[in-house]
A and B are shown apart, each in its own frame.
Chain A
């Protein structure tokens, strides 16, 4: 199975901050990498798919990048509604695996 790791596991930030979350795959997954946002009691939300493509309706302050097996989610200017847990997930091969997540706290 492909193992996914993520860092940091949590971070504190303020509104307006630039935030970056890193994700690494244990082997090459090309660009088959998705990012999700999860809030308690809410439906998980797809933010980015195929490493770079912004899902319809997602604000442009979210972006994704890739370097080999390393992927990054960037929030250019953190907004109050962005405090949540973020997960990366690979869809290169089954089983589809998620990283443990990054919880973004209010500083």
Chain B
């Protein structure tokens, strides 16, 4: 059974950092793209970025608002993906979700996200 679990959320002051972890199970981790999404309170879903699988070069794509503040990484030997978030802003307050995606036929770019976790809450406030 495929499962996805996020962890690492919490309360931080503006300008500080936080690292989220995504620990999926039930499939060969290294074969899949891992993507991050978020949902601010009372808002809709928003894509944050993804890190591709190694066979496709581990391509990283991210939303413009990340502005170099967020870093995506993965450790295939441990089966964990990370989202390092620096210079956090109040507007980054949200539930953060991790999701698996099969690599697509064009450079491994994913076309859909088939298993998601329940999320980890990040609150940025002074």
Chains A and B belong together in one complex: yes
Known: A43-B97, A94-B61, A95-B64. A36 touches B45 (CB 8 A): yes
Which listed residue (A38, A46, A49, A95) contacts B45, Cβ 8 A? A38
Least Cβ–Cβ distance between B48 and chain A, in angstroms: 9
Beta-carbon contact of A95 and B110 below 8 Å: no
Beta-carbon contact of B45 and A91 below 8 Å: no
Which residues of B sit under 8 angstroms from A50, Cβ to Cβ? Answer: 111-112
- Looking at A10-18, A75-83, A96-104, the stretch in contact with chain B turns out to be A96-104
Chain A interface size, under 10 / 10 to 19 / 20 to 34 / 35 or more: 20 to 34
Known: A94-B61, A97-B47, A100-B44. A34 touches B118 (CB 8 A): no
Beta-carbon contact of A32 and B44 below 8 Å: no
Most buried by B among A43, A49, A50, A96: A96
Beta-carbon contact of B64 and A32 below 8 Å: no
Which listed residue (A34, A42, A101) contacts B112, Cβ 8 A? A34
Beta-carbon contact of A46 and B44 below 8 Å: no
Interface residues of B, count at CB 8 A: 22
Beta-carbon contact of A49 and B61 below 8 Å: no
Which residues of A sit under 8 angstroms from B72, Cβ to Cβ? Answer: none
CB-nearest residue of chain A to B64: A95
A95–B47 Cα distance when bound, in Å, is 7
Which residues of B sit under 8 angstroms from A43, Cβ to Cβ? Answer: 4, 97, 115-119
A71 at the interface (CB under 8 A from B): no
A36–B80 Cα distance when bound, in Å, is 24
- A interface, CB within 8 angstroms of B: 32, 34, 36, 38, 41-46, 49-50, 55, 87, 89, 91, 94-101
